[in-house]
Amino acid sequence: MALDCKTPKDVIHAIKEHNIQMVDFRFTDLPGTWQHFSVPVRLIDEDLFEEGLGFDGSSIRGFQAINESDMLLLPDPTTAFVDPVLEVPTLAIICDVYDPITLQPYTRDPRYIAKKAEAYLKQTGIGDTSYWGPEAEFFVFSDVRYGTYPYQAFYKVDSPEAWWNSDKDLGPNLGAQIPPKRGYFPTPPTDTLQDVRSRMVLALEAAGVPVELHHHEVATAGQGEIDLRFDTLVRMADRIMMYKYIIKNVARQHGLTATFMPKPLYGDNGSGMHVHQSIWKDGVNIFWDEAGYAQLSEAAVHYIGGLLTHAPSLLAFCAPTTNSYKRLVPGYEAPINLVYSQRNRSAICRIPMYSKSPKSKRIEFRAPDPSANPYLAFASLLMAGLDGIQNRLDPGEPIDKDLYDLEPEEAAHIKNTPGSLEAVIEELKADHEYLLRGDVFTEDVLDAYIRYKVTEEIDAVRLRPHPQEFVLYFDV
């Protein structure tokens, strides 16, 4: 249930009003996964919001070493909501991470980084508010199995909607499976997940997350999208964490499983998280100029210049998994071209033209995917855009042609996104000064993030044989 708590006293009142039995405290680790623990309501009082709750930081990915493991959570009362998916009446609260010795915010807390990005925007004088509207896609499968061993590796996903089930005995098989790349906007019964997505929407709205629409997406096998109403940076990052949690749990309630993995299927569209963004000052959208290209102001064009200039390093946060680069390939509507356009969906930066209203003018950065930690992704995008405005970075001329149908000599001048997580991590090592301004990101955060990505993800995939290698090389 949506709440409007502003103070610890409001939270205590909500606990009594809604007969809450458990309070769940949540925070985000460095890679972007929610962590939590629960406390019986009899132990909840206003002092807890000032004194905090301790936890072991050495057990959280990207956080502390074991010799300095004690950490502190301070609940943010404005984030409290009644969990819409749990059977036991539970109030959930998002927390900020603090050092228990210095009582200062923890530099590796992704939410703190996002807060500092919002503060830095005000410090620059460029604007006082940024608005964010991510479109996080996902897959819903009826079965998923995977494993990796020294002698074996496999994965298998399934869905009654998938084209490969058109000849199977499903007891009975009712047909209407979705061919590859044909999943955009079919009605039921082809879209078998209409009611499931509607229940996801109702659960999101019940938790205080406003939804604008939902629909089936392009890929076969249950790909969907639920669009959220735009909000400010930290609040939207909070809502993306709620979004992923609620979608996964509602799917599980229906005997299904949801994943935000960018590319679970070969040969079909992957899941992106196109991020709409704008900057406002004194209630005015500074991205709007009726006389500009696509009604963009000079500031907006330079903001795009920052996104394009820093895109290779930005992707370390916006497309942060080895699997992300199975999606960022030519075709499949993948936004791999480092250009901008007012309508072209293969450009990494698009300017939506649905409305002529100054209030709706925004930039859509299309390379991110939903495996991203939203606090880090949104903060890094804002920092790159602000660098573009501050240094008047030129994005070049827009390209409104079909980028996949250019003449070879013209296409040769267009740069593409890097092709691997390893490549974008190297770009981040070389290009991160813009992230350090205002102490938003710190060298400590970047070092911890890079170390985790290399040792736990890049090396974990790089060192293992792949099934396709057996197809290619077993008989050499």
Q: Residues within the annotated binding site for Mg(2+)?
A: 135, 137, 217, 225, 274, 364
Catalytic-labelled residue, pool 96, 161, 217, 289? 217
Contact 378, 110 (CB under 8 A): no
Catalytic-labelled residue, pool 76, 135, 161, 369? 135
**Three-class secondary structure of residue 158 per DSSP:** strand
CA distance 274 to 417: 15
Q: Which residue numbers belong to the known binding site?
A: 135, 137, 212, 217, 225, 269-270, 274, 276-278, 327, 333, 345, 359, 364, 366
Catalytic-labelled residue, pool 56, 68, 143, 447? 56
The token pair that represents 468 in the structure block: 């396709």
H or E stretch covering 306 = helix 298-318
Contact 116, 219 (CB under 8 A): no
Catalytic-labelled residue, pool 108, 216, 274, 432? 274
Catalytic-labelled residue, pool 76, 238, 364, 427? 364
Catalytic-labelled residue, pool 29, 109, 118, 137? 137
Strands (E), 282-374: 284-285, 337-341, 347-350, 363-365
CA atoms within 13 A on the CB side of 1: 13
**What single letter denotes the amino acid at residue 162?**
A
CA distance 397 to 218: 30
Closest listed residue to residue 21, CA positions, set 82, 98, 112: 82
Helix 110-124 and helix 233-253: axis angle, to 10°?
150
**Who contacts 14 (Cβ-Cβ below 8 Å, separation ≥6)?**
3, 5, 20, 80, 82, 91
Catalytic-labelled residue, pool 61, 252, 345, 462? 345
Whether residue 56 lies in the annotated active site: yes
**Three-class secondary structure of residue 11 per DSSP:** helix
Whether residue 274 lies in the annotated active site: yes
Whether residue 366 lies in the annotated active site: yes
Phi, psi dihedrals of residue 351, rounded to the nearest 5°? -110, 105
CA distance 403 to 345: 9
Peptide bond before residue 179 is cis, with ω within 30 degrees of 0: no
DSSP letter for each residue of 239-270 = HHHHHHHHHHHHHHHTT-EEE--S--STTS--
| Other C-beta atoms lying within 10 Å of the C-beta of residue 160 | 18
Q: Which residue numbers belong to the known binding site for L-glutamate?
A: 269-270, 327, 333, 345, 366
Whether residue 364 lies in the annotated active site: yes
Catalytic-labelled residue, pool 225, 238, 268, 457? 225
- What is the three-state SS of 116-140? HHHHHHHHHCCCCEEEEEEEEEEEE
Catalytic-labelled residue, pool 108, 239, 310, 366? 366
CA distance 219 to 261: 13
CA distance 476 to 196: 48
Whether residue 161 lies in the annotated active site: no
Contact 114, 446 (CB under 8 A): no
Catalytically active residues are 56, 135, 137, 217, 225, 274, 345, 364, 366
